[in-house]
Chain A
């Protein structure tokens, strides 16, 4: 089951580990990405902390931690080839995995229907 945020991130929960990326809508709005910076493994993020940076030809944008947790894994493939994010934002283009401080916080996030309503899809 996917959850979404108003900052256009998606999350998928597996036990107490959430995989996080940016939505197809966000990837389309940003345009072709040329640079991705990911958090260090082991860093502890509070909800709303800057977690990653993405840059298109035109501009830089921050990706915030949508939920509190500790960085368990990062997707080095998108650092080496940022175009993966544009090609497959909600699968191969994932950003990082968080070991959640409170897995129940996941359920409080938007579901897909609510997110689609937000972006007018």
Chain B
């Protein structure tokens, strides 16, 4: 019996509310973060990827955690202060109906998870990674219990991504057209009360739509009935985020990696940095703020292999073609369908991380030249104004 079978028997895989729809659409289902999820549909990863960049793709991301953090006092700032003890972002400065990217850090400055935080007027809504949601919920309860109620939502989560996402969603909910990147609004879609954020994980314009569980299939089918929309699985979700230079928790981010090393210093709000009004006060703040001031020994960077061969997670990188001096390692890699070339990201010793540095990746005993590059590989097309 394989390890996967043993795990499956100990912890049966969960299904999202869209499970039956996935099967109806011809999905190939795979285990992912404890769920049976669609890897791809009949079109395949390559076509689903390109369709998202050209038109609009619909993703089921209901496996992700949706956690509500509500102040017991009824004063949102009390919850904001409490969350700032765990997240190095400016949460008190987050306006109502706005969303922001954040990180849970540990005492060593490492990353426990990355997440989106929405100001929902009387509470915060946190969207966290599927594999981390139980740990995140426990972490929030441990630290916030006296101040906040922490509650898991069982709503479904859909992502509609791509240049035609706005036109498609506006055909069902016209108000979405006036939203900007990182706006959050309540709107009725196909008769269901949804929470819509203008954000995503593909580098494209698009929306993430939190839907009541019982309405999930209806909303998904309403979106799929539009000629411009195709269902897109986890395979293309990964190649899309990789081209967009977006890190994946568990591959590119982990508890032993700090936000500064991960090139996510931009997620440490100015007000939380040295000299800021609410400087520090989050786990590992001394280490993280010290790294912002003094630099780091290794850093996440983009990697562009020569030729067509993908250079994947775990591949070691060297300064020379003989594998003498190690320069770093790849943490995510694959093929970028939009640029028709292999794309990777990884961690490089800082002296090798400058864009243009030529390195060598050891793949099956051969050394493939790769170039350190600035991320992303495909420019973001968010609707910023």
Contact = CB atoms under 8 A, between A and B. Distances in A.
Nearest to A36: B308
Contacts of A42: none
Contacts of B310: 34-35, 55, 60
A68 to B, nearest CB: 22
Contact of A35 (B238, B239, B309, B364): B309
A41 interface: no
A77 interface: no
Contacts of B364: 53
Contact of A32 (B39, B45, B238): B45
Where chain A touches its partner, the secondary structure class is: strand
Contacts of A34: 46, 308, 310, 335, 337, 342
Interface string B35-65: 0000110001111010000000000000000
Interface string A43-57: 000000000010111
B335 A31 contact: no
A37 B363 CA distance: 12
A104 interface: no
Interface in A72-114: 82
A117 interface: no
A60 B312 contact: yes
A57 B235 CA distance: 8
B45 A58 contact: yes
A31 B48 CA distance: 12
Most buried by A among B44, B49, B238, B239: B44
Nearest to B366: A37
B335 A35 contact: yes
A57 B335 CA distance: 5
B76 to A, nearest CB: 42
A57 B308 CA distance: 11
Contact of B235 (A35, A58, A60): A58
B376 interface: no
Contacts of B309: 35, 37, 55
Contacts of B44: 31-32
B323 interface: no
Contacts of B40: 31
Interface string B238-251: 11000000000000
A55 B336 CA distance: 13
B212 interface: no
B228 to A, nearest CB: 22
A60 B45 CA distance: 15
Contacts of B337: 34, 57
B34 interface: no
B46 A57 contact: yes
A64 B312 CA distance: 21
Nearest to A83: B46
Contacts of A58: 39, 45, 235, 238, 334
Interface in A3-58: 31-32, 34-35, 37, 53, 55-58
A31 B239 CA distance: 14
Contact of B239 (A37, A55, A57): A57
Contacts of A60: 310, 312
A27 to B, nearest CB: 11
Contacts of A35: 308-310, 335, 342
Nearest to B340: A34
Nearest to A50: B364
Contacts of B342: 34-35
B334 A32 contact: no
Nearest to B40: A31
Contacts of B334: 57-58
A56 B46 CA distance: 9
Interface of B: 39-40, 44-47, 49, 235-236, 238-239, 308-310, 312, 334-335, 337, 342, 364
13 contacts: A31-B44, A31-B235, A32-B47, A34-B342, A53-B364, A55-B335, A56-B335, A57-B45, A57-B46, A57-B235, A57-B335, A58-B235, A60-B312
Given A34-B308, A56-B45, A58-B238, 7 more contacts: A32-B45, A34-B46, A37-B309, A55-B335, A58-B45, A60-B310, A60-B312
Considering the complex of A and B, which 3 residue pairs feature the smallest CB-CB distances, nearest first?
Answer: A32-B46, A34-B335, A57-B45
Interface of A: 31-32, 34-35, 37, 53, 55-58, 60, 82
